Amino acid sequence: MENQTHHFDRPIAFPELHDFRDFFPKVSTEKIDGPLLTLPAWEVGSWSDRKGETVFEVGRYLQVRTPHLGLWVEELPPFIADYVREEMLHCSNDHTSFEVVVWNDGRALVIIQHGVIIGSRYLGIIDATTIPTP
């Protein structure tokens, strides 16, 4: 993949990765219930929850835009789980989802977004031809 630069409003977490499978080694077109990762409330800074009922969830749904494709992530690489723990635990009872935005130059931006609070993180820029098609 040609080394091109873009100016983003936030950093790319894993600029060295360029293949869809690096981020999502196993996906399905069939819906899979349940989150990929659930973290207890004390890890997301909600010390007021003495019963431990609030959680932060990493969801399975992955939306690919242009062309539109809905996929379900079957497994989460450990480095993404670590990144979420270190960088994204801002709100209890929040959840995340994944999105890949395909650009017309053959690349795609991999994003993980919060569900409750406004915000997202850019995980990487990949070669769009590595995205599986059903």
Q: Provide the number of structural domains found in the chain.
A: 1
Domain-embedded: residue 8:
no
What integer pLDDT is reported at residue 88 of this predicted model? Answer: 78
Domain-embedded: residue 1:
no
Domain-embedded: residue 9:
no
Pairing of strands 120-127, 69-73: unpaired
Rounded average pLDDT over 103-121: 86
The residue segments making up the domain with residue 107 are: 20-130
Rounded average pLDDT over 39-62: 70
What integer pLDDT is reported at residue 86 of this predicted model? Answer: 81
Task: Look over the chain and give the mean of its residue pLDDT values, rounded to a whole number.
Answer: 83
3-state secondary structure of 79: helix
Return the percentage of the chain with pLDDT > 70, whole number: 79
Rounded average pLDDT over 10-30: 95
| Segment (H or E) for 125 | strand 120-127
Q: What global pTM score does this model have?
A: 0.81
Domain-embedded: residue 6:
no
Write out the two tokens for 119: 């915000």
